[in-house]
A and B are shown apart, each in its own frame.
Chain A
Amino acid sequence: MKFLRIGYHNYRCYKDDIVINFNTTDEKNIALIMAPNGGGKTEMLFSFWWVLYGFDFSTLKEKKDTDYSLNSDLYHKLETGPVDAKDYCYVQLLFEVDNIKYLLQRKETFIKKSSGIIPEQNLALIEYDKNGSKKLPLTDTTAIERIINKAIPKKILNGIIFDGERMKELSKVGNESREAIEGVIKDITNEELYQICRTELDSLKKKIAKEQKKLANDIPTTSLPSILADIEECEEETKKAKAKIQISQGELDKAAEDLADVLAELKADQTSHDNEIKRDGLRNKLTSENSHLESLTKLYANALEECYLLQCDKLFKDVEDLIKSVEIPDDLTVKTINSILHSKTGKCICGHDIGPAERAALEYWLDKLPPDNINSTLSQMIKSTRFEQSKVAKSIKDAYDLVVTSEKEIAETKSQISEISARIVGEGVTAKVKELEEKRSKLEIKIHECNVTIDSMNDTIDQNNKRLSYLDKQKKGYNENNEEYAFLNKEEEIINSYLDALNEIDKVNNKRALENINDKLDKAYQSLSEDYTLQKRIYIVQFDEKSKYRIVTYHQSNFDNKFNELLNNGQIDAMKEQGLSGEQIKEKIILTIKESNSTGQSKINTLSFAKAILDYSNEKRDEDSYEITKNYPFMIDSPFTELSDNNLFFSSRELHNFTGQIILMISGESYAGVAKQIDPFVGSKTVLKKVSGESRSILEK
């Protein structure tokens, strides 16, 4: 498939009539659209989507305010214009499939009513025959969509149209990659072929059931009609149960995805939340430390009250000095002097005569001498006071040390609080976490409810199957009695076997296709990512129901280590015993070691993914295969921003190898960095520019 031309009238930023030709060839397969930021690149990208299948503009992050196809200036004019005023826009796309050209036009008319602006869309498709003559235009939407869906199925658009935002997100968001992979697999494995058979077999089965019922009424027995009615009831119940399972599975998938988002958000906020909890703990600790310091300070103050003892020291020293300065012999006491003065012999104890001079001296000393034993009393007092002093000094020092330690602890806690506060992003994170926890809990309940419904419906199906098998046996019992009836049963048996086989074919086709896409993904990643040489690998989940079709990355060395660990502790053997295949075991290991990616890496993952599914679609099939080879075009907006070094070099070098036609939207500045790699493959080049003061882009001459 190839796009040949696109034309606009009053569409979004293309207010003027603009026609862009994509003159690409096999050798020069890149159609280059160059425009500055806001110059209409993304608008053009999604205009392909709009003209093919319609597009919800409100899903574009930056364009929510203009969620309509008409140029916004014209739309605002209508808003303020009179009732019944109208305007319209259209996009025309000329494309070629298997050498047949088609011109598709989607037109939307906007009519001002008193209730607001009412849009109305219509489609037209013109087929050109091989001579280039137009056939009568088709206007039946269903018939047109059938043709478009054959050329380029809606589901695969997610895998071949990428703007910058989706390039970053694809490997994180499950739904879009899932839809793209499923869409491509169904398209390439030609699932429609088996679906046609299934639908026809189902309607044939219903027809046979009717005939059986009619015939049963003619057979002279009372129980056969009731058996058939029971079978019909059973089958109806099973059908309803299957429908319920499908709905519940859809809800379950949605809830699981929402839960994954909530958990990711929670994880991001959890660190802040944990820090808030830590900070609260530290604040409590600080409060108790402060009150401890208060009591220690009291103890210190009490110790200081004894401090006067330390001040006595100088006084005691003065007394000692004074005693020494008087020069009274140590053994001369009041009692001794008195005994000398009142001696009957008039002599000293040493036999010396005591004359008037000696008497006067003795009387002088008597007057000066303190009471008897005062010296020793004082000495005793000083000694014991000094002992007290050392105790007081120690207790003051201890109390002081405790206060200092406590103050240090408080300072440390305060510093921890301020450090942790700096790590808390935004206030009120705890409230947000609480809200997320509530969401998580609701989603977990929802998942549980869905699982309960699915289990219960599966039980119903099991019971019905058992009942059906019993009823079938009874029903077959009538075969012997009625040849016509036996024939109908045989027809039904063949149909059932065919339906079973078709379901199995779907499963093996899906498995084989996923294996093939994974091989291609590995090769694409090898050619596009600089991380491949650093042992990084990419994988699309094939077996795990919860994360099926998700794109994950891991390191080969981590895989080898984990594998050896599981091999040594016997878990690999245990998994084999459980019946898991080598591929399933490999996937289980990958899911335990998967890694996150930077923005640039995510873009490379998306490019690898796109290349893998394009390679898979373009692959030549065996002649006897019912699979189809499709050459989808690839449309991409600003793929190289946020890429650097080898990632930039490899991806720009490989772009022309992606598929038969690549429509590349890029800014001039970004193109300058990759022109050397891209230029040799450019088949057509269109330059768009913005018009000052208007929501309008035009072609640069």
Chain B
Amino acid sequence: MSKANQQIDEILDRKNLSESQKEFFKKMIHMAKIYQGVSDDSNFSSFLENGIKEEAKK
């Protein structure tokens, strides 16, 4: 694992988040990378909104 990702994990561990919330955070960044540079990022918005809703339900 890269040092950068290791540091992200350490930060998330301190944030009192559930494992699934931590995973979704990482997924969020991964998806942001996919949508990076795409002028219409509405898909990213809905991905985030739905994901947060799912996490809140758990």
Contacts and interface: CB of A to CB of B under 8 A. Distances in A.
A624 B5 CA distance: 8
B1 to A, nearest CB: 6
Interface stretch (A1-9, A40-48, A496-504, A562-570): A496-504
Given A497-B16, A497-B21, A624-B5, A193 B52 contact: no
Interface string B25-47: 10011001101110101001100
A512 B29 contact: no
Contact of A204 (B16, B29, B37, B48): B48
Interface stretch (A309-317, A487-495, A520-528, A591-599): A487-495
Interface string A156-199: 00000000000000000000000000000000011011101100
A501 B2 CA distance: 18
A494 B56 contact: yes
A143 B25 contact: no
A627 interface: yes
A494 B52 contact: yes
Identify which of B12, B17, B29 gathers the most chain A CB atoms within 10 Å of its CB.
B29
A625 B37 contact: no
A625 B2 contact: yes
A193 B25 contact: no
Nearest to A207: B49
A136 interface: no
A475 B14 CA distance: 25
Contacts of B4: 189, 509, 512, 622, 625-627
Interface residues of A, number: 36
A193 B32 contact: yes
A621 to B, nearest CB: 7
Interface string A463-497: 00000000000000000000000010011001101
Contacts of A622: 1-5
A193 B7 contact: no
Contacts of A505: 7-8, 11
A203 B8 CA distance: 23
A217 B12 CA distance: 35
Given A196-B41, A197-B32, A497-B16, A491 B52 contact: yes
Interface of B: 1-5, 7-8, 11-12, 15-17, 21, 25, 28-29, 32-33, 35-37, 39, 41, 44-45, 48-49, 52-53, 55-57
Which A-B residue pairs are the 10 nearest by beta carbons? A622-B2, A625-B2, A490-B56, A491-B56, A196-B32, A504-B11, A497-B15, A508-B7, A625-B4, A200-B48
28 contacts: A143-B39, A189-B4, A193-B32, A193-B33, A196-B32, A196-B36, A197-B29, A197-B48, A200-B41, A207-B49, A487-B57, A491-B52, A491-B56, A494-B17, A495-B52, A497-B15, A497-B21, A501-B11, A501-B25, A505-B8, A508-B11, A509-B4, A512-B4, A621-B2, A622-B2, A624-B5, A625-B2, A627-B4
Given A193-B36, A505-B7, 10 more contacts: A196-B44, A197-B48, A200-B44, A200-B45, A201-B48, A204-B45, A487-B57, A500-B15, A512-B7, A622-B2
